[in-house]
Amino acid sequence: MRLGVVLIRLPAEMASKDTAATVEAALLLADLPSDGLGVFAVISLNKVRVRLVVRRVPTE
């Protein structure tokens, strides 16, 4: 099973309305896969970072 994670790192002083708008805009601009699976994204005030998470199978 693959899951997706979005970490939101915004100042606590931000109004909830501003936080919601910032997160919504960041997710739209982040160009995430449509299902969001296998993604780790970090949203902050200045940038959005997206990493595809690939689980590696151990080799013997």
Q: By the 8 A CB rule, do 39 and 4 touch? A: yes
How many domains does the chain fold into?
1
Give the chain's end-to-end CA distance (angstroms, integer). Answer: 23
Does the residue 60 lie in any domain? no
Question: Is the predicted pLDDT of residue 6 greater than 60, yes or no?
Answer: yes
Q: Which pLDDT score is estimated for 36?
A: 66
Question: Quick check: is 36 in a domain?
Answer: yes
- For residue 41, what are its two tokens? 């994204």
Question: Is the model's pLDDT at 7 over the cut of 80?
Answer: yes
Mean pLDDT across the stretch 4-13?
85
Distance CA 24, CA 21 (A): 5
- Regarding pTM above 0.85, the answer is no
Length of the chain in terms of residues written = 60
Helix, strand or coil, per DSSP, at residue 50: strand
What pLDDT was estimated at residue 35? 66
Query: What is the side-by-side strand order in the sheet with 48-52?
Result: 5-9, 39-44, 48-52
The domain of 28 spans 5-52
Condensed to tens digits (0 to 9), the pLDDT of residues 10-56 reads: 888 888 888 888 888 887 777 776 666 778 888 888 888 888 877 66
Confirm whether 34 is domain-assigned.
Answer: yes
In a domain, 57, yes or no: no
- Indicate whether 58 belongs to any domain: no
